[in-house]
């Protein structure tokens, strides 16, 4: 999982009210990382209010869908923008 540097839009973290979505990004990232059958090591999670942007790479289209569904199921998420790319890496056997 890749985390971006946290910014607080001119406010110190302790000045933010508990009602803000400052922890939504972390909650989504942790939930996506725990999904069975999903290697989230190359996924970046960015929160903008209650909208989540997912970006990065996974192996299959099924993993792309799992990541989006997981992010959308976290409380507080209103929209998910999914920019994850499936690399569909397949090993090929080479004959000698």
Per-residue confidence band for 7, with pLDDT thresholds at 50, 70 and 90? low
Does the pLDDT of residue 23 top 60, yes or no?
yes
> pLDDT digit string (tens) for 32-68?
999 999 999 999 999 999 999 999 999 999 999 999 9
Per-residue confidence band for 77, with pLDDT thresholds at 50, 70 and 90? very high
> What are the Cα distances from residue 2, in Å, to 21, 46, 50, 72, 85?
19, 10, 19, 19, 15
Among all chains, which residue has been given the structure tokens 């607080």? 8
Residue 39 falls within a domain, yes or no? yes
What CATH number does the domain containing 11 carry?
Answer: 3.30.1340
Does the pLDDT of residue 15 top 50, yes or no?
no
Number of domains in the chain: 1
Residue 30 falls within a domain, yes or no? yes
Q: Which residue range forms the structural domain that includes residue 32?
A: 2-86
What does pLDDT average to over the chain?
Answer: 82
Cα torsion angle, 45, 52, 26, 74, sign: negative
pLDDT of residue 11: 54
Global pTM reads: 0.71
Among all chains, which residue has been given the structure tokens 């939930």? 31
Residue 68 falls within a domain, yes or no? yes
């Amino acid at each position: 999982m890749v985390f971006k540097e946290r910014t607080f839009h001119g406010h110190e973290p302790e000045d933010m009210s508990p009602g803000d979505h400052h922890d939504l990004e972390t909650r989504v990232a942790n939930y996506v990382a725990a999904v069975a059958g999903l290697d989230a090591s190359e996924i970046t999670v960015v929160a903008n209010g209650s909208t989540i942007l997912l970006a990065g790479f996974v192996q299959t289209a099924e993993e792309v869908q799992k990541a989006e569904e997981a992010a959308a199921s976290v409380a507080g998420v209103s929209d998910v923008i999914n920019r994850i790319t499936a690399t569909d890496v397949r090993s090929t056997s080479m004959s000698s």
